[in-house]
Amino acid sequence: MPRSTPSFARRVGLAFSVLFQPELAARLEQLRNPEASAPAATAATTGVAVAQADASAAAPVLRESSPEAALQLLGLLQREARFVDFVQENVAAYSDADVGAAARVVHEGCRKVLREHFSVEPVRPEAEGSRVTLAEGFDAASIRLTGNVVGQPPFTGSLGHRGWRVTDSRLPKLAQGHDASVIAQAEVEL
C-alpha cells in the first residue's frame, strides 16, 4: 500500500516531537544513518531499555491527536456563527448592546453546529446545586473535584456543573488534499 505524504501541519507536529523527545530523535537518526549510530546504539541499548521500562511503567501513554478535526470544527463554527471573526474582534470599543446583539448571532450559529455534528449529554443527571455522593472508584476523568479536597472517597458535595459528554460525532469527511488550516477563505469582491 503506498504511503501518503504527511500534510504540512503534520510535518510541523513531527518536527516538534523530534525536538522535545530525545529518544525519538535518536531513533530517527538511526533510521537516517544506520551505520554511524549502530555502535553507539548497541552500547547504550541496555541502559536505555531499562530507563524506558521504568519510565513507561510510571508515565501514562500519550497519543498525538490530529489537528484536522479541530480545524474542521473551527471552520464550521466560523461558517455558521462567524465565531473566529467575533473572537478576533476587539469588542472593548463597542457598547454592551452591540456586543450582545453580535453574541446572539454567534450563539445561534454555534448551537446549530453543535446540534448538526454532535450528540451531547450531561455527565451527571442531577440538577446543578444537588447534593451528590461520589463512591470510591468514581470516574475522575469525568468528574473534577473542587473546593477543599481532603481524604478518601466517598465524597459528598454540591454539583456545581453537570458536565458534558459527546456520545456521537458527525464531522463531514475531508477530501484528499483539503487544507483544513484554512478555516475561512479570504473574500475578494470583483
**pLDDT bracket for residue 55 (50, 70, 90):** low
Query: Residues 6 or more apart from 180 whose CB is under 8 A from it?
Result: 9, 67, 68, 71, 72, 75, 174
Shared domain check, 165 and 95: yes
User: Does residue 152 sit within a domain?
Assistant: yes
- CA 98 and chain centroid, separation: 32
Averaged pLDDT for residues 18-28? 62
Shared domain check, 137 and 46: no
In total, how many domains does the chain have?
2
Averaged pLDDT for residues 157-181? 93
Shared domain check, 77 and 33: no
Shared domain check, 158 and 83: yes
**pLDDT at residue 46, rounded to an integer:** 45
Shared domain check, 83 and 134: yes
pLDDT digits (tens, 9 = 90+) for 76-115: 999 999 999 999 999 999 999 999 999 999 999 999 999 9
The model carries a pTM of 0.62
